[in-house]
Amino acid sequence: MFSVAYERSLKNEEQKIKLDNNSEYPLIKREFILSAYSLLQIEVRDNCISSVDYEPWKQYLSLLFEKRGKKCKVTYSEIKKWVREPDATMMREFLAYCTHLGVLHCENRSNSLESRVYYFPILFQQNVGVTSSVGHPT
């Protein structure tokens, strides 16, 4: 957040820092926090993807982030459809890896694999400060 606020302050050095009509300081506005959070989400997502050594799973993880859209939770069948892994054992291991990595959280682990529901932790949910394709907040 501070890098976004600092960048803006460099562009507006002459502006005095005082509360505006929304009781916000011009350096720490909601849009700056959302932009900074979007940058953090991109960095964490990219670090998660780059930390995967097994190339098929790296691609699956990229697809998972790409296909999730604004969803906060997904089913096993949705994930399987997105990544197109035919082997149930490999799917189980991939989902266990995603859970270990902190990308997914399974609420009903005692259920069969096919009836499980997975949630994206808040850090991986789509932020309202939507980002553009080049990785910078819009």
- The pTM assigned to this predicted structure is 0.72
**Hey, which bits of 48-123 come out as E strands?**
73-75, 105-106, 117-119
Share of the chain above pLDDT 90, in %: 54
Question: Across the chain, what does the average pLDDT equal?
Answer: 84
Residue-wise pLDDT tens digits, 18-73: 788 888 776 667 777 788 888 888 999 999 999 999 999 999 999 999 998 888 99
> Is the pLDDT reported for residue 80 higher than 80?
yes
Q: CA-CA distance, 37 to 49, in Å (whole number)?
A: 18
Query: Roughly what angle, to the nearest 10 degrees, separates helices 30-50 and 55-67?
Result: 150
Cβ count near 98 (within 10 Å): 22
Residue 129 main-chain phi, psi, to 5 deg: -80, 70
The domain made up of 2-124 has a fold known as: Arc Repressor Mutant, subunit A (1.10.10)
What residues contact residue 15 under an 8 Å CB cut-off, 6+ apart? 9, 26
